[in-house]
Chain A
Amino acid sequence: MLKEPHVGAPRSRVDGRAKVTGEAKYAAEFPAPGLAHGHVVSGAIARGRITGIDTTAACAVPGVLEVFTHENRPRTAWFDYKHRDEVAPPGSPFRPLYDETILYSGQPVALVVAEDSGTARHAASLVRVEYEAGAHETDLLRAREDAYVPPKRRSGISPPPKPRGDAVAALAEAPLRVEAEYRIATEHHNPMEMHATTVVWEGGGKLTVHDKIQGVLNSQGYICNVFGLSKEDVRVVSPFVGGAFGSGLRPQYQLFLAVMAALALKRSVRVVLTRDQMFTFSHRPETINQVALGAAADGMLRAIRHDAIGATSRFEDHQEVVVNWSGLLYHCDNVELGYKLAQLDIHTPADMRAPGAPLGVFALESAMDELADKAGIDPLELRLKNYAETDENEGKPYTSKELRAAYRLGAERFGWSRRSAAPRSMREGRELVGWGLASGVWEAQMQQTSARAVLTADGRLEVATATADIGTGTYTILAQIAADAFGLPMESVTVRIGDSSLPKSPIEGGSWTAASAGSAVQAACHAVRETLFRHARGAEGSPLGNADLDHVAFVDGRIVLAADPDRGIGLIEAMRAGGAERIEHEQTASPDKANQKRYSSYTHSAIFAEVRVDEELGVLRVTCIVTAVAAGKILNPKTARSQVIGGVVWGMGMALEEETLADHRLGRFMNHNLAEYHVPVNADVHDIDVIFVEEQDSRTSPIGVKGLGEIGIVGTAAAIANAIHHATGKRIRDLPITLDKLLERPPAERAR
């Protein structure tokens, strides 16, 4: 009997032990001889200029090595393009300590470097900055008047598709219409690990950089471009990342500051941001959606219009895919979608888990619920009725789409058929009970990635690629894929990632890592297998003499005949026979261009939510979530489930809690700590049931994987908001749905 493969089986994280014992090192934990510590001084105003910086007191503190400001910072590259990282949107990237101009509140205005972190922090509090304030704007509700279509598109972000049919006319004629505005508040990234960089001065102009980043090559490229260094001299090593989900896609300002200081002082420097500084970059943009749906009396969609305005900074056009989902999820002949940006005096927003999708899908899926209500049709039936068999945005078939099965399986598990249709009709004790559902959708992608596999004569296998593991389980799935290629136990496999000296990989984002790095590792392993098989066949008296690679299996450290597993040869024996101490191959896996042209590829989900509301007091509990996910092959149901649960919990935060509150007079975010910026805690989270729907997909990636880092969050907020409407009859279109909104009298439309 052939052993069950690791791929597809629930395996525990291979890096779990290292993480819980502290053996896993994060960016701020790498030691270096003579390490100096930098502390950032953050600016106080939203717009204007620095008229003076007094660093005398700070410099006088014993142990302070240097206070860097725009007045004394070393020269860096002149041109904007040199500061643009791999995922930068169009515009002029923010340059820390560049000049006296203040672009947003909380901007770094000085870096104090000292012998120890306490001294740096103390001295930083002594830096005095004088400003001349200019007029600023941080209120999207005012700035929306000046929204514009971004003139240059951000690479990798599809602009809205061209209109199809005539949505305006179809809407005017539609017997049923829903038109409403939906808003999502600004949300800030708050991974457990604060952003940090340790730059190790290796001497001879060489640097080793430990950065909190989702792509070591992105940091490496940025450093080399900005500081005019060569790639041979800069190695970025970040084996572990303590959460990121977008905040670590772009090099953040602490990287610039740490490298700048290390080069200037010719010694190792570490810069760690504080929790409140985590609120000075990397946020999901506040977004306003206007959605109009027109339908026939039976609920068939006739028209969809969806226009969104997202906030961005004054210096970069950050773009996300917010509205395209509305042309994709349902069959409809008349669709018009629009996406604009409005500039504020804030830092450039950043990608946050499924950037764009939860924003637009919240609006669309809330509107669909409103339509179901109007049409008197069950919300699930409405969705099935309007099911899109093809990608109507692009006029292409899907590589696979099992959303229908997801609806069915999710509904069964949840017990959706027992739902009583009318809002406010379900109650238990004091609490109103509400059931809501929504669909989720996210891109399934693969990116060109290279990997190396090395088999050594001691029977160990090492696979390596420059990608990152931000906690998603990349180490584990790569170990599974590699182990299966040779029939080895996972313990025989070492996975190396997060090092710029390893084979090239894109940033870890877009849910593409499993598909991309996984395919590359498999390709490299297969190349090693071929060489090994040649050795095996050549061995004296080899039972595989006449076989070819298709007729053998790799089982328990042996190569055996598939038809007769008793006959075979050990891996080590085969290597010895070939005189090989190690077999090493590097391979590059690329997406199939022809498939990409012909097909569209997305993951889907159906999310069912139950809420219980104490209406008198506005207290709400999300007591159950069932999410059925169709995402191609599931490499590891255990880590996959964790990914989806994490996404769902984040979606609960988006629905009910997360909001960075801005004081528009000061132009500043105010609740910049985890006591006042709320994310869900254990008490908020009840049952979350994750179902993986069978989905065969041979076109997205060679290993059948579509990716699922992000799908868990998409649609969750809408399902909860819809459940709240079912429970209370209140349609709340502004996220987060806090207690005060639940207490408000029924939906007095916002006057604006």
Chain B
Amino acid sequence: MNRFTYARPADLAGALREIARDPGARFIAGGTNLVDLMKYDVERPTRLVDVTRLPGLDAIEETAAGGLRIGALVSNTAIAYDARIGRRYPLLASAVLAGASPQLRNAASTGGNLLQRTRCYYFYDAATPCNKREPGSGCPAIGGVNRIHAILGTSEHCIATHPSDMCVALAALEAVVQVAGPGGERAIPFAEFHRLPGDHPERDTTLCQDEIITAVELPPEGFAEHHTYLKLRDRLSYAFALVSVAAALELDGGRIARARIALGGVAHKPWRMPEAEAALAGQPAEAASFALAADRLLAGAQGHGHNDFKIDLARRAILRALSQAAAGTPQSQTDKRIR
């Protein structure tokens, strides 16, 4: 762990000033990811700008459009147990509860969850090469230990996944990330927030170093009737997803009016394919339609050895998740039996 200085600005403008002063500075919120990475010498920030006391970022509020605005400092626990979210966006609450442990969720913030970094073993081990940690050093996960790695949207430079559960639900719900920077505020649609690795695996998102996340906005449609978050992992709790599926449906009789499907654990970002979702529209809510959607979503999926199983697993998980959503029997995050 390196030496760093610490600042705790009193307001947003102060936070932006602090971060702009030093290109090596980083925001710190719950610290559940950043501090670990600092201990492993993966992140070596010269200055920590503590955002936890910034006013106005810790509330969940109604938006004019009829959605909800979740402040960047709202804890994962607060999201999971908020009555409005539970009623209108149960998919989100479920995904949050599927992640980490109660202690971590208490500390973890909304902004930090979006920006948590991959769990790739090599990324965490500064004694090994890694393009994401040290651009140009190589990607030992390709041909190495890659059981937890991506099967979609990879590049020859990186096959890491984004590990968040919450973000998979946010992707399915088409949330919008609100950010503030030196040039003012901007809104980033969720699908454009996380990147694919391409030639620059060191960049996880489209956020700039000197920008801060202020909130995540949920549009009015929450798919409260027909949704599920299905997470498959190596133990029944407290493990990152090997594959997860956030499924949200709007049904019209026995037919699908609208569908959203986002996959976790399979790519550098929550994986969506609007064509696959569009193709479901008008189809009967039954296995055959779900199978077609799975085929489309996983077209081009490629294993790297240890993670070959994820292709088959993702397919099965999509089928199950869509049938859970269609039946209105979402996966419970406390009873570990899969519905």
Contact with B along A652-684 (1 / 0, CB 8 A): 000011000111011010111101101011111
Is the beta-carbon distance between B140 and A663 smaller than 8 angstroms? yes
Q: Residue B257 at the A interface, CB < 8 A?
A: no
Stretch binding the partner chain, chosen from B84-92, B116-124, B221-229: B116-124
Is the beta-carbon distance between A618 and B313 smaller than 8 angstroms? yes
CB distance from A534 to the nearest CB of B (A): 59
Q: Chain B residues with Cβ under 8 A from A743's Cβ?
A: 309, 312-313, 316
Q: What is the bound-complex CA distance between A118 and B38, given in angstroms?
A: 12
Q: Residue B275 at the A interface, CB < 8 A?
A: no
Q: Chain B residues with Cβ under 8 A from A614's Cβ?
A: 337-338
Q: Residue A430 at the B interface, CB < 8 A?
A: yes
- Taking a contact as CB atoms closer than 8 A, the residue among B121, B147, B235, B336 that contacts A680 in the complex is B235
Q: Chain B residues with Cβ under 8 A from A612's Cβ?
A: 337
- Taking a contact as CB atoms closer than 8 A, the residue among B2, B39, B121 that contacts A671 in the complex is B121
Is the beta-carbon distance between A684 and B235 smaller than 8 angstroms? yes
Q: Which of A610-652 touch B at CB < 8 Å?
A: 612, 614, 616-619, 621
Is the beta-carbon distance between B235 and A617 smaller than 8 angstroms? no
Q: What is the bound-complex CA distance between A243 and B299, given in angstroms?
A: 48
CB distance from A744 to the nearest CB of B (A): 8
Contact with A along B25-43 (1 / 0, CB 8 A): 0000000000000011100
Q: What is the bound-complex CA distance between A105 and B140, given in angstroms?
A: 16
Q: Chain A residues with Cβ under 8 A from B40's Cβ?
A: 276
Q: Chain B residues with Cβ under 8 A from A676's Cβ?
A: 119, 121, 148
Q: Chain B residues with Cβ under 8 A from A738's Cβ?
A: 234
CB distance from A245 to the nearest CB of B (A): 20
CB distance from B122 to the nearest CB of A (A): 7
Is the beta-carbon distance between A666 and B128 smaller than 8 angstroms? yes
Is the beta-carbon distance between A617 and B316 smaller than 8 angstroms? yes
CB distance from B13 to the nearest CB of A (A): 32
Is the beta-carbon distance between A675 and B1 smaller than 8 angstroms? no
Contact with B along A735-751 (1 / 0, CB 8 A): 00011100110000000
Q: Residue A125 at the B interface, CB < 8 A?
A: yes
Q: Residue A121 at the B interface, CB < 8 A?
A: yes
Q: Residue A431 at the B interface, CB < 8 A?
A: yes
Q: Chain B residues with Cβ under 8 A from A657's Cβ?
A: 234-235
Is the beta-carbon distance between A683 and B147 smaller than 8 angstroms? no
Q: Chain A residues with Cβ under 8 A from B309's Cβ?
A: 739-740, 743-744
Q: What is the bound-complex CA distance between A680 and B336, given in angstroms?
A: 14
The residue of chain A having its C-beta at the shortest distance from the C-beta of B163 within the complex is: A675
The residue of chain B having its C-beta at the shortest distance from the C-beta of A656 within the complex is: B235
Q: What is the bound-complex CA distance between A656 and B235, given in angstroms?
A: 8
Q: Residue A122 at the B interface, CB < 8 A?
A: yes
Secondary structure at the B interface, as helix, strand, loop or mixed, is loop
Contact with B along A413-433 (1 / 0, CB 8 A): 000000000000000011100
Q: Residue A596 at the B interface, CB < 8 A?
A: no
Is the beta-carbon distance between A618 and B145 smaller than 8 angstroms? no
User: Are A617 and B234 CB-contacts (below 8 A) given A670-B122, A683-B336?
Assistant: no
Is the beta-carbon distance between B337 and A431 smaller than 8 angstroms? yes
State which size class the interface on A falls in: 35 or more
Contact with A along B231-251 (1 / 0, CB 8 A): 010111111101000000000
Q: Chain A residues with Cβ under 8 A from B185's Cβ?
A: none
CB distance from A506 to the nearest CB of B (A): 36
Q: Chain A residues with Cβ under 8 A from B3's Cβ?
A: 122
Q: Residue A553 at the B interface, CB < 8 A?
A: no
Q: Residue B143 at the A interface, CB < 8 A?
A: yes
Is the beta-carbon distance between B128 and A668 smaller than 8 angstroms? yes
Q: Chain A residues with Cβ under 8 A from B313's Cβ?
A: 617-618, 739-740, 743
Q: Residue A237 at the B interface, CB < 8 A?
A: no
CB distance from A125 to the nearest CB of B (A): 5
Q: Chain A residues with Cβ under 8 A from B125's Cβ?
A: 276, 668, 670, 672
CB distance from B318 to the nearest CB of A (A): 11
Q: Residue B24 at the A interface, CB < 8 A?
A: no
Q: Residue A301 at the B interface, CB < 8 A?
A: no
Q: Residue A364 at the B interface, CB < 8 A?
A: no
Is the beta-carbon distance between B316 and A616 smaller than 8 angstroms? yes
Q: What is the bound-complex CA distance between A657 and B239, given in angstroms?
A: 11
Q: What is the bound-complex CA distance between A121 and B122, given in angstroms?
A: 21
User: Are A621 and B1 CB-contacts (below 8 A) given A666-B144, A670-B122?
Assistant: no
Q: What is the bound-complex CA distance between A89 and B49, given in angstroms?
A: 52
Q: Residue A274 at the B interface, CB < 8 A?
A: yes
Q: Which of B303-322 touch A at CB < 8 Å?
A: 309, 312-313, 316-317, 320
Q: Residue A42 at the B interface, CB < 8 A?
A: yes
Q: Residue B208 at the A interface, CB < 8 A?
A: no
Q: Chain A residues with Cβ under 8 A from B39's Cβ?
A: 274
Q: Residue A44 at the B interface, CB < 8 A?
A: yes
Is the beta-carbon distance between B338 and A661 smaller than 8 angstroms? no
Q: What is the bound-complex CA distance between A739 and B39, given in angstroms?
A: 31
Contact with B along A183-219 (1 / 0, CB 8 A): 0000000000000000000000000000000000000
Is the beta-carbon distance between A125 and B2 smaller than 8 angstroms? yes
Q: Residue B127 at the A interface, CB < 8 A?
A: yes
- Taking a contact as CB atoms closer than 8 A, the residue among A105, A431, A673, A678 that contacts B234 in the complex is A678
User: Are A662 and B145 CB-contacts (below 8 A) given A671-B121, A684-B237?
Assistant: yes
Is the beta-carbon distance between A621 and B145 smaller than 8 angstroms? no
Is the beta-carbon distance between B145 and A671 smaller than 8 angstroms? yes
CB distance from B102 to the nearest CB of A (A): 11
CB distance from B47 to the nearest CB of A (A): 15
Is the beta-carbon distance between A665 and B143 smaller than 8 angstroms? yes
Q: Chain A residues with Cβ under 8 A from B140's Cβ?
A: 663, 665-666
CB distance from A625 to the nearest CB of B (A): 15
The residue of chain A having its C-beta at the shortest distance from the C-beta of B40 within the complex is: A276
User: Are A681 and B236 CB-contacts (below 8 A) given A616-B316, A676-B119?
Assistant: yes
Q: Chain A residues with Cβ under 8 A from B41's Cβ?
A: 125
Q: Chain A residues with Cβ under 8 A from B127's Cβ?
A: 42-44, 105, 668
Q: What is the bound-complex CA distance between A43 and B126, given in angstroms?
A: 11
Q: Chain B residues with Cβ under 8 A from A276's Cβ?
A: 40, 125
Q: Chain A residues with Cβ under 8 A from B235's Cβ?
A: 656-657, 678, 680-681, 683-684
The residue of chain B having its C-beta at the shortest distance from the C-beta of A670 within the complex is: B121
Q: What is the bound-complex CA distance between A682 and B336, given in angstroms?
A: 11
The residue of chain A having its C-beta at the shortest distance from the C-beta of B233 within the complex is: A739
- Taking a contact as CB atoms closer than 8 A, the residue among A42, A105, A661, A675 that contacts B145 in the complex is A661
User: Are A621 and B242 CB-contacts (below 8 A) given A671-B121, A684-B237, A743-B313?
Assistant: no
Is the beta-carbon distance between A618 and B337 smaller than 8 angstroms? no
Q: What is the bound-complex CA distance between A198 and B316, given in angstroms?
A: 53
Q: What is the bound-complex CA distance between A612 and B143, given in angstroms?
A: 34
CB distance from A116 to the nearest CB of B (A): 12
Is the beta-carbon distance between B2 and A661 smaller than 8 angstroms? no
Q: Chain A residues with Cβ under 8 A from B121's Cβ?
A: 661, 670-672, 676
The residue of chain B having its C-beta at the shortest distance from the C-beta of A740 within the complex is: B309
CB distance from B91 to the nearest CB of A (A): 19
The residue of chain B having its C-beta at the shortest distance from the C-beta of A119 within the complex is: B3
The residue of chain B having its C-beta at the shortest distance from the C-beta of A620 within the complex is: B236
Q: Chain A residues with Cβ under 8 A from B339's Cβ?
A: 430
CB distance from A328 to the nearest CB of B (A): 33
Q: What is the bound-complex CA distance between A524 and B248, given in angstroms?
A: 72
CB distance from A25 to the nearest CB of B (A): 24
Return 29 A-B CB contacts under 8 Å, by A number: A121-B1, A122-B1, A122-B2, A122-B3, A429-B337, A431-B337, A612-B337, A614-B337, A616-B320, A618-B232, A619-B338, A656-B235, A663-B128, A665-B140, A665-B144, A668-B127, A670-B121, A672-B121, A675-B119, A675-B239, A678-B235, A680-B235, A684-B235, A738-B234, A739-B234, A739-B242, A739-B313, A740-B313, A743-B312
Pairs of residues from A and B, 9 with the lowest C-beta to C-beta distance, nearest first: A683-B237, A44-B127, A740-B309, A670-B121, A683-B236, A614-B338, A663-B144, A670-B145, A661-B145
B→A interface (CB under 8 Å): 1-3, 39-41, 119, 121-122, 124-125, 127-128, 140, 143-145, 147-148, 232, 234-240, 242, 309, 312-313, 316-317, 320, 336-339
**13 additional contacts, CB 8 Å, given A122-B1, A617-B313, A617-B320?**
A42-B127, A429-B337, A614-B338, A618-B232, A663-B145, A670-B144, A673-B124, A675-B119, A683-B235, A683-B236, A683-B237, A739-B242, A740-B147
